[in-house]
Amino acid sequence: MSVTELRRNAYVPRCERDAKRIRRAAEAARPDAKIAMEVALAQIGAAFDETAAVNAFKIRIERLLRLGAYYPAVRARFGARAGMLFGHRLDAAVILVERCWRAERKAFQIASAFGCGTRLSLEVLRELRLILRLLRRKRMEAEYGAALAALCDAPIAKLAAE
């Protein structure tokens, strides 16, 4: 395998891939010799479309995972939900969070109809849902137990016994 093949197959962080996607949208608008405003509109459209929203969410999740369970902001954001999951295995936790997310989504829709809905709880459950699904997909049950123990201030040995 040559060096150029290794470089092509190397992992590129999501932030850089997103920036490249926006640049490609601008370059796609240029060959027609369009005015600068159309190129700018193509970049803006690519930066704020559905794909950009999904990438921003995944970038936020990657950042939370990099910070770890002992980071104060992560503990504040997920501490109460971790208490709800304490004592559950990863598969059961995924199901429980999915049910909570669906119930919270319905409650948010009803509250929004009356003009008083807040998205924070829904966003926390959405983030937790993706994190748990990622852990399950990568078969990271041990990491799930350690993170849960860190968030709940419980000794890891107690989780291992259960």
pLDDT at 154: 62
pLDDT at 34: 63
First to last CA, the chain: 47
CA distance 20 to 52: 12
pLDDT by residue, tens only, the chain of 162 residues: 455 554 666 778 888 888 888 888 877 776 655 677 787 888 888 888 888 889 889 999 999 999 999 999 999 999 999 999 988 999 999 999 999 999 999 999 999 999 888 889 999 999 999 999 999 999 999 999 999 999 888 654 444 444
Alpha-carbon torsion, ordered 14, 20, 24, 25, to 10 deg: 60
pLDDT at 161: 44
pLDDT at 157: 41
How many residues does this entry show for the chain? 162
- pTM summary value: 0.73
Q: Please list, residue by residue across 56-83, b when 16 or more beta carbons sit within 10 angstroms of its beta carbon and e when fewer do.
A: eeeeebeebbeeebeeeebbebbeebbe
